[in-house]
Amino acid sequence: MVSSILQKGILHPIALTISKGNPSVQDDCLPLIVCFPEEEQYWVMEADLLIRKIQQRGLYMNHTCGIDWASDHHDVSIVNESGMEVKRMRIEDTLKGYWELLQMLRIIGGDIPIAIECKEHLLISFLISEGYTVYPINPRSVDRYKDRYNVAGTKTDPIDAFALADILRTDRHKHRPLVYSSEEVRRLQLLCNEYDKLLKNKNVLEGQLFDALSKYYPLALNLFYANSCKILYRLVLGYPTYEQLKSVDLDELSRFLKKNHYLNPKHIEKVYRAVQESGYYHTDILDEVLSTTAKTLCSMLLVVTEQLKKVKKKIAQITKSHALGPIFYSLPGSGDVMSAKLLALMGDNQELYSDPAEIQAYAGVAPVIKRSGKVFRVVFRFACNKNQRDALTWFAFCSLQHCPWAREYYDRKRSEGKRHYEACRMLGFKWLRIIFQLWKHGKMYDEKVHQNNLNRFKERKLKIA
């Protein structure tokens, strides 16, 4: 292996003589006789000692690594500083495959940056734990970069891996290495992502349940204050058809409702009266088919609702116990979920962001400016973290009831013709500047301080005018 490495561009071009010992021994273990002509010295050494000696003399070329990941395997390409591919391999998505990659990186030696098209993967965690710097590259950037030398549009996994490695070789300074926050914040980020997924799944299931009930059991949709409450799900599970519910007397219905924390006698009597006085048409075919669907959806909704409750509790515990948690709780309109999402967005590593513009672009609240000659356009930013944009927009909306200047800014934008979502996103842009300064300096939000800053800014503008 060492002889092939020396021949494939891992070392700078120097006069180097390599003599093999016993040919019957595997190549990886061969004793090597290496000559450094400028020093007129010779060594007989094993492969690992050879690597260390060469590394001490600064004879290594710089290398970059690209990994094209898949579900069951990963293609790896290692490129030297002259752009030549010195190693190509495919590893399995197992611990054995990870160790094979690590062994190759160690044999080549040096601080090898690694590019990959994702941010969360077990392989990434493994490489970072071993001390390597990982650069997450947007797949769109990789696709456009390949056009530099592949006009025909050929696409294979090895080509993608080579493109990733070559991106770091030529444009490493334009990409940000993956820097993790503390384990506590990483856990919070994952929990917030899972909370969003569960909430979306709950909304989908609620829509499916509403569709099923409206077709065969519309009475159930009109009995309670909302179509997304647990008592509705349990009612459908206990009395899945209109006929079954109408045959229940007041005592049985009262016991059922009280068991499910529906305790007000007036409300119980109101529900019973609505059931008895209703007159809905039904058919046996729809009752038989759709009642099964409705019961299945209600069972799933009860499970998802319970999981949401547990995840929300964990999120609140982490946020309240974190050193930066009080900063985000001090923001007007922020509760357990919003504070947690904002903490997950900012993290607790001060090296993540050096300027509020970076986080505004990452969170998708900053527009994209296109300027060419006489053409000037401001367009919506699509390439961003969608979950973080939703969180900031919702936080901006929640702050309207608790923050006078936010309400004033929102109303002004609405009067200028902006839609509700546009005005909230623009308010989120403003909020993120404030949040960045609070996060950077570890200060709580104070409405009076910000209002004084706004007044000074307005006075300065009047003086300039």
> Is residue 236, in this structure, part of any structural domain at all?
yes
Residues 201, 314 within the same domain: yes
Residues 11, 30 within the same domain: yes
167 neighbors 141 (Cβ within 8 angstroms) = yes
4 has a pLDDT exceeding 60: no
Q: pLDDT exceeding 70 applies to what percent of the chain?
A: 86
Please state the domain count of the chain: 4
Q: pLDDT exceeding 90 applies to what percent of the chain?
A: 47
Residues 455, 334 within the same domain: yes
- pLDDT the model gives residue 294: 94
Query: What distance lies between CA 411 and its chain's CA centroid?
Result: 32
Residues 380, 408 within the same domain: yes
Q: How far apart are the first and last CA of the chain?
A: 73
- pLDDT the model gives residue 409: 94
Range of the domain at 29: 2-56
Query: Which of the residue ranges 103-112, 143-152, 183-192, 397-406 would you say has the lowest mean pLDDT?
Result: 143-152
Residues 305, 195 within the same domain: yes
35 has a pLDDT exceeding 50: no
Which residue would you say has higher pLDDT here, 464 or 368?
Answer: 368
Q: What is the DSSP annotation of 339-386?
A: HHHHHHHH-S-TTS-SSHHHHHHHTT-S-EEEEETTEEEEE---SS-H
Residues 10, 71 within the same domain: no
- pLDDT the model gives residue 26: 34
Residues 257, 336 within the same domain: no
Spell out the residues 6+ positions from residue 112 whose beta carbon is closer than 8 angstroms to its own: 63, 64, 65, 78, 105, 132
> Is residue 75, in this structure, part of any structural domain at all?
yes
Residues 414, 308 within the same domain: no
Q: Which pLDDT tens digit goes with each residue over 44-87? A: 444 455 555 555 544 456 899 999 988 889 999 999 888 888 88
> Is residue 180, in this structure, part of any structural domain at all?
no
Which residue would you say has higher pLDDT here, 18 or 186?
Answer: 186
> Is residue 402, in this structure, part of any structural domain at all?
yes
Residues 329, 452 within the same domain: yes
> Is residue 179, in this structure, part of any structural domain at all?
no
- pLDDT the model gives residue 8: 43
Looking at residues 202-209, what average pLDDT do you find?
A: 94
107 has a pLDDT exceeding 60: yes
